[in-house]
Amino acid sequence: MDFQQKPAIFFGIYTSNCFNPRNVAVRCAVLLRVAGNGGFSLPPAPYSEQDIDVTGNIDFKHEIALRKNLVQVALGHRKADVLLRVGRVLDTATATWIDDAEIVMSQGRIAFVGPKGSFTGQAVRTFDRSTLLAVPGLGEVHKHIESSHITPEYEAALVLPRGNTWTCEASHELSNVLPEQTMDFWLKAREAGSPLKIFPLPGSAVPPTGWEHGARLDGNDQTGFMSNPMTAGLDEVMDWPALTRSENPGHDRLWSMIEATMAARGVVEGHGAGLRDLPGINAFAAAGLASDHEAWTAQEAWDKLRHGLFVQLRVHTMDDIIKGLLERGLRDWSQVAVTTDDRSATDTLRLGGADYNVRCAINAGLAPEIAVQLATINPARHMRLTPWVGSISPGRYADIVLLDDLDSFSISQVWADGQQVSDGLDYLPDPVSVEWPDWAYDTINIGRLLTADDFAIPAHPDRQTMQAPVLRPFHWSDEVPVYTLPVQDGVVQRDAQKNITKFSIIDRFSGQGAVTKMFWLGCGPKDPDTALCCSMAHDKHNIWCVGSSDQAMALAVNQLAQMGGGWVLVHRGQVTARVRYEIAGLMTARRAEENDAEMRALYAAAKEVEWMYEPSFHPRWQPGFPERLAIATLTCAPWRWNLVAKSDHAPEGLIHVVTGETRPVVF
Using one digit for the tens of pLDDT, what is the confidence trace for 30-53?
333 233 333 333 444 444 434 455
Residue 12 has pLDDT above 70, yes or no: no
pLDDT at 454: 98
Residue 3 has pLDDT above 70, yes or no: no
Q: From CA 230, how far away is CA 84, in angstroms rounded? A: 28
* Residue of 215, 210, 213, 248 lying closest to 647 (CA atoms): 213
**Mean local confidence (pLDDT), 302-310:** 98
**Mean local confidence (pLDDT), 566-586:** 98
**Does this model's pTM top 0.85?**
yes
Residue 615 has pLDDT above 80, yes or no: yes
Specify whether the CB–CB gap between 516 and 504 falls below 8 A: yes
Specify whether the CB–CB gap between 41 and 33 falls below 8 A: yes
pLDDT at 437: 97
Residue 9 has pLDDT above 50, yes or no: no
Tens of pLDDT along 130-139? 999 999 999 9
* Residue of 142, 129, 137, 131 lying closest to 109 (CA atoms): 137
pLDDT at 627: 94
pLDDT at 10: 30
At 70, the pLDDT band (50, 70, 90 cuts) reads very high
Q: Indicate the length of the chain as a whole number.
A: 667
Q: What is the CA radius of gyration of the chain?
A: 27
Specify whether the CB–CB gap between 181 and 619 falls below 8 A: no
pLDDT at 143: 98
pLDDT at 53: 55
Question: Residue 96's beta-bridge partner residues?
Answer: 91
Torsion of Cα atoms, 159 then 165 then 166 then 167, to 10°: -10
**Mean local confidence (pLDDT), 327-345:** 97
**Mean local confidence (pLDDT), 7-24:** 33
- CA–CA–CA angle 23, 396, 413 (5° rounding): 85
pLDDT at 277: 96
pLDDT at 617: 76
Tens of pLDDT along 119-158? 999 999 999 999 999 999 999 999 999 999 999 999 999 9
User: To the nearest whole percent, how much of the chain has pLDDT over 70?
Assistant: 92
**Mean local confidence (pLDDT), 616-639:** 90
Cα atoms in the Cβ-side hemisphere of radius 13 Å centred on 146: 32
Q: What is the mean pLDDT of the chain?
A: 92
Class of domain 137-389: alpha beta
Given 3-state DSSP classes, what are the helix, strand and coil percentages for the chain, each rounded to the nearest 5? Answer: 30, 25, 45
pLDDT at 24: 36
* DSSP-derived 3-state class of residue 63: helix
* Residue of 281, 280, 279, 275 lying closest to 296 (CA atoms): 275
* DSSP-derived 3-state class of residue 472: coil
Contacts of residue 357, Cβ cutoff 8 Å, sequence gap at least 6: 315, 318, 338, 339, 340, 374, 375
pLDDT at 46: 41
Show me where the domains of the chain are located.
Answer: 137-389, 440-656
